Structure 1
Amino acid sequence: MPELPDIAVYTDHLERRLVGHVLQRVALANPFVLRTVDPPIADAGGRRVTGIRRLGKRIVLALDGERFIVIHLMIAGRLRWRDANGKPPGRIALASFAFESGTLYLTEAGTKRRASLHYVAGEAALAALDPGGVDVAALDAAQFAERIARGNHTIKRALTDPRLFSGIGNSYSDEILHRAKLSPFALGAKLSPADAARLHRAAIDVLDEWSRRLAAETGDAFPEKVTAFHDAMAVHGRYGKPCPDCGAPVQRIVYAENEANYCARCQTGGKVLADRALSRLLHDSWPKDIDQLL
Structure 2
Amino acid sequence: MPELPEVEALAAFLRRNAVGKAVARVDVAAISVLKTFDPPIVSIGGLSVTSVQRHGKFLDVDCDGLHLVVHLARAGWLRWSDGLPQRPPKPGKNPLALRVHLADGSGFDLTEAGTRKKLAVYVVRTVSDVPGIARLGVDPFAAEFTTERLGALLAAAGRAQIKGVLRDQSVIAGIGNAYSDEVLHAARLSPFHPASTLNDDEVAQLHQVIIDELGTALERAEGLAARDLKDSKRTSMRVHGRTGELCPVCGDTVREVSFADSSLQYCATCQTGGKVLADRRMSKLLK
Fold shared by both chains (TM-score > 0.5): yes
Displacement of 1:281: 4.7
Match of residue 163 from structure 2: 156
Amino acid in structure 1 at the alignment position of 2:107: T
- The CA distance in 1 between the partners of 2:285 and 2:32, in whole Å, is 41
8 A Cα contact 2:15 2:51, kept in partner: yes
Describe the shift of the 1:282–1:169 C-alpha distance in structure 2 as closer, same or farther (beyond 3 A).
same
| Cα distance in 2, alignment partners of residues 228 and 77 from structure 1 | 16
The aligned runs of 1:243-262 (5 Å cut-off) are 243-262=247-266
What's the counterpart of residue 182 of structure 1? 189
2:99 corresponds in structure 1 to 96
In 1, the alpha carbon distance for the partners of 2:177 and 2:132 equals 24
Query: Contact 1:171/1:229 (CA < 8 Å) preserved in 2?
Result: no
Paired residue secondary structure (2:263): strand
What residue identity is the alignment partner of 2:278?
A
Find the aligned partners of 2:251 and 2:131 in 1 and give their Cα distance.
45
- For normalisation by structure 2, the TM-score amounts to 0.91
- What's the TM-score, normalizing by structure 1? 0.89
Alignment deviations for residues 29-63 of structure 1 (CA, whole Å, 9 cap, x no partner): 11111111111111111111111011111101011
Q: Which amino acid aligns with 1:30?
A: A
Distance 1:161 1:49 in 2: 31
Task: State whether residues 253 and 261 of structure 1, in contact with CA within 8 Å, keep that contact through their aligned partners in structure 2.
Answer: yes
- Corresponding residue number in structure 2 for 1:80: 79
Query: 2:153 aligned with 1:147, yes or no?
Result: yes
Unaligned runs of 5+ in 2: none
C-alpha spacing 1:246/1:83, structure 2 compared with 1 (3 Å): same
Deviation at 1:208, TM superposition (A): 0.5
2:209 maps to 202
Q: 1:256 to 1:127 in 2, by over 3 A?
A: closer
Offset at residue 85 of structure 1 (A): 4.8
**Which residue type is aligned with residue 232 of structure 1?**
S
Residues 105 and 113 (structure 1), Cα distance of their counterparts in 2 relative to 1, 3 Å cut: same
Aligned length: 279
How much is the aligned-residue C-alpha RMSD, in angstroms?
2.1
1:135 aligns with 2:145: no
Structure 1 unpaired stretches of 5+: 284-294
Distance in 2 (CA, whole Å) between partners of 1:251 and 1:114 is 28
Residue in structure 1 matched with residue 34 of structure 2 by the alignment:
34
